[in-house]
Structure 1
Amino acid sequence: MQNNSNNAPHILLIDDSPEEIRGLVVVLRQQAWQLSMASDARQGYQRALSLKPDLILLDVRMPGMDGFTLCRLLREAPATCRVPIIFLTSSAAVEERLEGLSLGSVDYVLKGCDPQEVLARIRIHLQLAWRETAPEQTQVPAEPGSDDQVSLRVAMRLIAQHLDEMPSLAELARKTGTHEKRLSSIFREHLGCTVFAYIREARLRRGQELLAESAMDIQDIADQVGFRSACNFTTAFRERVGMTPSQYRQQAHNKGSSQRTDAD
C-alpha cells in the first residue's frame, strides 16, 4: 500500500456533495490518517492515479461520469487496480448495490449510516488490503497505463460481459468514461479496427470456445453470443473460420479424442 511518511493510511473521498456526509468527514479528519478529497469523478480519477491512496470512498450519483464508470476505470488502471473501493451513496436500490459490488468494490454503504460504523468498515478493509499486499511490497510497481489504454481495457471487458445483448456505442462509451468518437478512435489506434468489428470478432471467438467446450446446440450458442438466429451465426462463422459451426465442433472433438488416445 502507498502511505505517507509516517505510514498513516491515505483515504481519498470522491463526492460531489460532501455536505451530505459532513459528520463522516469530521470523524475521518480526527483519525491519524491522511484525507484527500475530490468533488467529481474525473478529478477523483486523476487524484487516485497520482496519490495512490490506500482506500477510496466513492459516491455513485455524480454529474458527468458516475461512480460506477469511475470504478471500472480504477479497476483497470495499474496504479489503482488493487485499491479497496467503498461506495458511499444514497443510491439504495438493490440493482445498484449489486452492480457496485460486481464491479469490484469491497463494500456498499448508504449515506446516513453512523460515521463510526463507516469508520469500522474502513479499518477492516485497510487491514485486509494490508495483509494481501504485504508479501508483494518489494515488487517493482506496475507501469502506469495511459487513459486511452484504461478506457480500452474497460470497453473490452464490457464487451466480453455483454456479448448476448450489447450496449449501444453511446452507452459503451459512457460506461468507459469517454464519448463515441473518442472510443472509436481508441479502437482504431490501438487495435486497428472499429468497435463493431471488434465486437463481431469477440462474438465469433466466444462461439468457437462454446462449440469446442460445450454440448450447447447452435441456436443457444448463437443467442449467447448475440446473433439473431442460428442462420446468421452460421453464415458469419463460415466467413470467419472457413467451415460451418457443426464442422468446427466435429473437428475440435476429433482432435480432442486423438490427443487423449496419444496420451494413453
Structure 2
Amino acid sequence: MKGGSVAGHVPQILVIDDVPEDIRSLLILLRAQPWRLSLATDARQGYQRAVALRPDLILLDVRMPQMDGFTLGRLLRESPATARIPLIYLTSAGALEERLEGLSLGSVDYVLKSCAPEEVLARICIHLQLAWRELAAPAAGSEQPTDDDSLILRAAMRLINQSLDELPSLAEIARKVGTHDKRLSAIFREHLGTTVFAYVRDARIRRAQELLVDSALSMQDIAELVGFRSACNFTTAFRERQGMTPSQFRQQMRGAPATVLGS
C-alpha cells in the first residue's frame, strides 16, 4: 500500500479543527496526497460528516467551542458507524492529563501541533495501513443504526463506569457526552427506567462485587476505588443493597464460612 492507500480505494481523511489556519502547512501536504480530504470547523459538524462519509481516518482537535474533541471522541467511539475509524488527536492541548484522556478514549495517536507536518503525514500512513489490515477481517455482526439518545446513554454509562472513584458532577458528565443534565436524566429514565444517581449506585456495587471476588484488596481500598469516602459508608451501602456485608459476600463467594458481623 503506497501512501496509505490500497488498490481500488482512495482513502478519505476527515480533519476537524475550529482554526484550520493553525495547521495550514499540514493541510497543504494532505491535499498533495492521492486522498480525499474533508474539513469540518466544529465538533457537531465533524460528527455529522464522520457518520455520513465514514472516513478512513479522523484528525481531531481538542480545544473547540461548544463541544470539545474529547466529548466528540466519546460519541464517535459509541456509534457503530464510526467506532472502528482510527482517530488521531492533533492539538495544542499538551498537558499530561489531556494526553492520557485522549488515549483513554480509544484514539490511536495523540500528536501536538508543534509536530512537523511530515511526521504527522507519516503517522497517518502508518495508521491507515494498520486499519486496512484490521478491516480485511470484517467484524462479526451487522452494523445497527444508533439514535442520538442511545449514543449519549452509552457514552455516559462508559464514562461513569470508568470514573467511579472520582465521579464528575451530573452537569459535568452531561457536558462530557455532549448534552445537559436535564436531558441526560431524561434519557436514563426513558431508556433504563432509572435515575443517573441510581445507576451510579448500582455500578459502584457491581464493581465492588468484582473486586471482592477477584482481589485481596482491603475494604478501605475497595471503598475508595468505587467512590465511597470510607469503608464504613461502603459497608452500609453494600449491606442495604445486598443484604450482607462486603466481608460476608467475599466469604460466601469464595466458599468460606461467613461470619455474623463482618465488615
Provide the TM-score with structure 2 as the length reference: 0.90
Gaps of 5+ in 1: 257-264
CA distance in 1, matches of 2:154, 2:8: 35
Decide whether aligned partners of structure 1 residues 255 and 191 sit closer, same or farther in structure 2, where only a CA change above 3 A counts: farther
Unaligned runs of 5+ in 2: 258-263
Equivalent residues, number: 252
Tell me which residue corresponds to 1:127. 129
Report the CA distance shift for 1:141/1:22 in structure 2 as closer, same or farther (over 3 A): farther
Give matches, 1:144-159, under 5 Å. 144-159=145-160
Cα shift readout 1:150-186 (whole Å, capped 9, x = no counterpart): 1111111111111111111111111111111111111
Work out which of the residue numbers 9, 12, 27 in structure 1 matches 2:11: 9
Q: Deviations over 1:1-52 (max 9, x none)?
A: xx9x951001101000011111211221121111111110011011111111
Could you say what secondary structure the match of 2:228 adopts?
coil
Q: Alpha carbons of 1:33 and 1:140: their partners in 2 closer, same or farther (altered >3 Å)? A: farther
Equivalent-residue separation in structure 2 for 1:253 and 1:92 (angstroms):
46
1:142 paired with 2:147, answer no
Structure 2 counterpart SS, 1:250: helix
- Match of residue 66 from structure 1: 68
CA distance in 2, matches of 1:142, 1:255: 46
Identity value in percent:
70
Deviation readout 1:118-155 (Å, 9 max, x if unpaired): 21111111001001111218x66411211111111111
Task: Describe the SS at the equivalent of 2:255.
Answer: helix
Aligned position for 1:252: 253
User: Structure 1 residues 218, 20: closer, same or farther in 2, change over 3 A?
Assistant: same
Which residue number in structure 1 is paired with residue 260 of structure 2? Answer: none
Matches within 5 A, 1:150-189: 150-189=151-190
Amino acid at match of 2:87: I
1:110 equivalent in structure 2: 112
Q: Is residue 46 from structure 1 mapped to residue 51 from structure 2 by the alignment?
A: no
Off by >4 Å, runs of 4+ in structure 1: none
Q: Residues 114, 7 of structure 1: CA spacing in aligned structure 2 closer, same or farther, 3 A cutoff?
A: same
Give the TM-score taking structure 1 as reference length. Answer: 0.90
1:57 to 35, 56, 59: 59
Counterpart CA distance in 2 for 1:215 and 1:161 is: 21
CA–CA distance in structure 2, aligned partners of residues 37 and 182 of structure 1: 30
